Amino acid sequence: MKQKILIVDDDSTIRSLVNITLVGAGYDVVEADDAFTALSYLKKTKFNLIIMDVNMPNMDGITCSAKIKNEADYVENKDVPIVMLTVEGDDEMKARGKQAGAKAWIIKPFMPDILISVVQKMLK
């Protein structure tokens, strides 16, 4: 059975690039265009990995990650690794992400082989 990955990014081009990369590597991919859509999926579906942007309208990726890790509604996905895929690279932002539950941080624009390498490492 294929491992299921949730991509959360408000940029449709980024979602498409990540989707193509991951599907090509044999993963099952679900896309969410914002944090609220992602949270609704996470209430109903068990994922193996979440790839999340930091800067999104309505709710940022760090807030969304904290909700996933700390709220009972998402208990089934509480221990799922979260990878931040973002333009944000400063140490303070990375520290906030780690505190919210992020296990890895990839800076956009991303190299497909780096993305696959991080995903494989997180899914071991």
For residue range 3-32, list pLDDT tens digits in order: 999 999 999 999 999 999 999 999 999 999
Residue 46: domain span: 4-122
Neighbours of 102 (CB within 10 A): 24
Q: Is the pLDDT of residue 61 over 90?
A: yes
**For the segment 64-121, what is each residue's pLDDT rounded down to a tens digit?**
999 999 999 999 999 999 999 999 999 999 999 999 999 999 999 999 999 999 999 9
Tally of domains within the chain: 1
Residue 43 near residue 71 (C-beta atoms within 8 A): no
Overall average pLDDT of the 49-76 stretch: 96
CATH number reported for the structural domain that contains residue 94 in this entry:
3.40.50.2300
**Position of tokens 């949270």?**
39
Interatomic CA distance for residues 87 and 54, integer angstroms: 8
Residue 97 near residue 116 (C-beta atoms within 8 A): no
Beta-bridged to residue 30, according to DSSP, are: 6
Statement: the pTM of the whole predicted model exceeds 0.95:
yes
